[in-house]
Structures are given as C-alpha cells and as structure tokens.
Amino acid sequence: MHSRTSLALAIAIMALSAWGTFSALEWPWKAKLFPLVIGIPLFCLALAEALWVIFGKHDGAAAADFKLTQEQPPEVARRRTLLAAAWTLGFFAMIVLLGFQIAVPLLVFLYLKLQGKEGWLFTIIFTAAVWACFYGLFDLLLHLHFPEGWLFSGFGAS
C-alpha cells in the first residue's frame, strides 16, 4: 500500500510537471521562467521516486509527520476510511443541496445517530448545542452569509 501510493503520487507529479513544463514553453519568458525552473527538476525527482519504488529493495524513509493508526486490522481500517470519505463527501453534498443552515445540524444528528449509536435525547441536545454555536458564532456574531441550498434556489439559479 505504502509503495503503491508512493508510485501513484510520483506518477501524478510526473504528469503534472510535464504538462506544466510543456504549457510554459508557449508563454513569454517573464511567465515561463519559474515554471521551467521548477517543472523540470520536479519531473526528474518524481521519475527518480518512481524508479526507486519499482526497482528499490525497501522503503526505509519515514517522514517526520503525523502517522495513521496501526491499531486496527487492515480491512477494518480500509472500511472505516471509506466511511470517513463518504461522510465528508456526503456533508459536502448536503451543503450544496440544503445549505449550511440545514446541513450542519443534519450532519451532527445523522453522525451521532448512525455512527455514534447515541440515544435520541443526547443526539437532539448535542445537535441543538452545535447548531446554536454555529448560528451564534457565524451568523449573529460574525455576520457571515451562507447561501440557501440548490434545492431551495432552483439548482444554483440564485
């Protein structure tokens, strides 16, 4: 997984830098100087990483960065990762279709009920508290404008 992901990232960067470099060739020198200075070495580095993954013996490079948990079996971790991605994308869909005002309490309610298996009373109180914080802080205090969802505004017409 580790190496395959690294290879995929390297190939994506190779494609990106190649596209960037070729696009830059048509621009005036003021605009293409930096893309060429960055694009060409970036392609070479990505190629080196890809070759390293394909022909290298072992990885041996740990980043000084946040590490994902290893406590769960791989299949459980994979399933929960997909679940997290689904909630994230689902929340985005809710925001676009229903607007922040409805999507925020709906997400909190559904997450606590479906994912957290919380009781009705706690779920309702927690959802109300989060919604009150959201409304109080962003709407009343900061006066941020959140548009209506597409369902209420004729699919992006407003």
Which residue in 15, 18, 54, 72 binds another protein (CB under 8 A)?
72
Is 63 a binding residue for another protein by CB under 8 A? The answer is yes
| Cα–Cα distance for residue pair 5/60, rounded to 1 Å | 15
Binding positions for another protein, 81-140, rule CB under 8 A: 81, 83-85, 87-89, 91-92, 95-96, 100, 104, 107-108, 111-112, 115-116, 118, 126, 130, 134, 138
Binding positions for another protein, 10-29, rule CB under 8 A: 10, 13, 16-17, 20, 23-24, 27-28
Is 145 a binding residue for another protein by CB under 8 A? The answer is yes
Which residue in 66, 75, 120, 154 binds another protein (CB under 8 A)?
66
Collect all residues with Cβ–Cβ distance below 8 Å to 112 and sequence separation of at least 6.
Answer: 118, 122, 123, 126, 127
Nearest to 3 by CA among 78, 71, 11, 65: 11
Which DSSP helix (H) or strand (E) runs through 96?
helix 74-98
User: Is 127:112 a contact under the CB 8 Å cutoff?
Assistant: yes
Is 62 a binding residue for another protein by CB under 8 A? The answer is yes
Which residue in 11, 15, 25, 34 binds another protein (CB under 8 A)?
34
Nearest to 48 by CA among 91, 100, 13: 13
Is 155 a binding residue for another protein by CB under 8 A? The answer is no
Q: Which two tokens stand for residue 54?
A: 């394909």
